[in-house]
Amino acid sequence: MNKPLRLLLAGAVALACAQLHAADDRGWSTPEKPFRIYGDTWYVGTHGLSAILITSPQGHVLIDGTLPENAKLVEQNIRSLGFRLGDVKAILNSHAHADHAGAIAALAAASGAPVYASHYGAEELKAGGDYAEDPQNGEAPHFPKVAKVNEVSDGGTVKVGDIVVTAHYTPGHTPGATTWTWRSCDKDRCLDVVYADSITAFTNDVYRYSDPAHPERVTAFRKTFEVVAALPCDVLVTTHPDMSDFLGRAAAHRAGKQPDPLFDRDACKALAQSSVVKFDEKLKQERAAKP
């Protein structure tokens, strides 16, 4: 993998979804000009939060909606690319925190598209993020509840036209956290695109990953790192673009930089490895703080 990305991932600043008060500083509602990522895959999010559109003549797939107040912004981005929100036939969610799921209820209502999430993700969306087993429950702001959510199993798919998006359960950041993958083609060249969910560990005084009463918390997170590292991964997009310098890499790609930093088969592995280091640090801190 290229050196700048490695350095960035190694030093990735922990992003707390709970710290929404700092949202403006991070550009979470700052407009970003939408652009083609690769083939039928487009970026329609804001400067600080990803939303992805995958298009086909039979209809489109939208992944994530970003903050509740960004629904119009995402819709405008879709329109400015020449597509219609009304042609979105499926809305998928990475995880049920306001910065990724906040606008989904509004976008689902405006498009009429069904919403899809993992088993726990569906419960979390229907609860508007008010979910007891969420490590950030009580801190992360709630968001408009999504009335109906279709459950996708681990390894299950959502299909619209010739688009096939696969769900990979990657719990840890939230119980329902999901990474989505699909193939996008430009003429004859097809690439594996990964929309990696947040795999960062945040805890409060109540929830501890290291809680001896819940060994499954550590087990699940460690499996998540393995799952992400093993994904076929030509193009990595992260829910928070700055976690993988996604916008920087995409801009360099559009400018024709070689080697192309957008195509990096080691990117998922590097993201997982840097996250393991952070997670081990978090466990150490928790155990040291234990009374």
Q: Per CB under 5 A, which region of 9-17, 59-67, 145-153, 206-214 contacts Zn ion?
A: 9-17
Nearer to Zn ion, 97 or 253 (CB): 97
* 97 lines the binding site for Zn ion (CB under 5 A): yes
In the bound complex, what is the minimum distance in angstroms from residue 129's beta carbon to Zn ion?
9
CA torsion 250→99→26→270, rounded to 10°?
A: -50
Least gap, CB of 243 to Zn ion (angstroms): 11
Q: Which is nearer to Zn ion, 17 or 63 (CB)?
A: 17
Instruction: Please state the closest distance from residue 101 (CB atom) to Zn ion, in A.
Output: 9
Q: Which is nearer to Zn ion, 36 or 47 (CB)?
A: 47
Angle of CA points 86, 90, 93, to nearest 5°: 120
- Of these, 5, 8, 9, 17, which contacts Zn ion (CB under 5 A)? 17
Residue closest to 243 by CA, chosen among 221, 213, 274, 206: 274
- Name the residue nearer to Zn ion (CB basis): 184 or 239: 239
- CB nearer to Zn ion: give 89 or 97: 97
Of 80, 21, 15, 81, the C-alpha closest to 49 is: 15
Tell me how crowded residue 286 is: count the other CB atoms within 10 A of its CB.
Answer: 16
Indicate the residue among 77 and 238 with the shorter CB distance to Zn ion.
Answer: 238
What is the 3-class SS of the chain, one letter each residue?
CCHHHHHHHHCCCCCCCCCHHHCHHHCCCCECCCEEEECCEEECCECCCCCEEECCCCCEEEECCCCHHHHHHHHHHHHHCCCCHHHEEEEECCCCCHHHHCCHHHHHHHHCCCEEECHHHHHHHHCCCCCCCCCCCCCCCCCCCCCCEEECCCCCEEEECCEEEEEEECCCCCCCCEEEEEEEEECCEEEEEEEECCCCCCCCCCCCCCCCCCHHHHHHHHHHHHHHHHCCCCEEEECCHHHCCHHHHHHHHHCCCCCCCCCCCCHHHHHHHHHHHHHHHHHHHHHHHCC
49 is a site residue for Zn ion (CB under 5 A): no
Stretch in the footprint of Zn ion (CB under 5 A) among 16-24, 73-81, 146-154, 207-215: 16-24
- Taking the complex as a whole, the smallest distance from the CB of residue 142 to Zn ion amounts, in Å, to 13
Residues 194-213 that bind Zn ion (CB under 5 A): none
Q: Which is nearer to Zn ion, 262 or 272 (CB)?
A: 272
Smallest gap, in angstroms, from Cβ of residue 220 to Zn ion?
16
For the bound state, the minimum distance from the C-beta of residue 4 to Zn ion, rounded and expressed in Å, comes to 25
Residue least distant from Zn ion (Cβ) = 17
User: With contacts defined by CB under 5 A, how many residues of the chain interact with Zn ion?
Assistant: 2
Residue 195 Cβ, how far from Zn ion at the closest point, in Å? 14
User: Could you say whether residue 26 binds Zn ion (CB under 5 A)?
Assistant: no
Q: Which is nearer to Zn ion, 17 or 90 (CB)?
A: 17
Min dist CB 186 to Zn ion, Å, is 31
By CB under 5 A, residue 60 contacts Zn ion: no
* Site residues for Zn ion per CB under 5 A: 17, 97
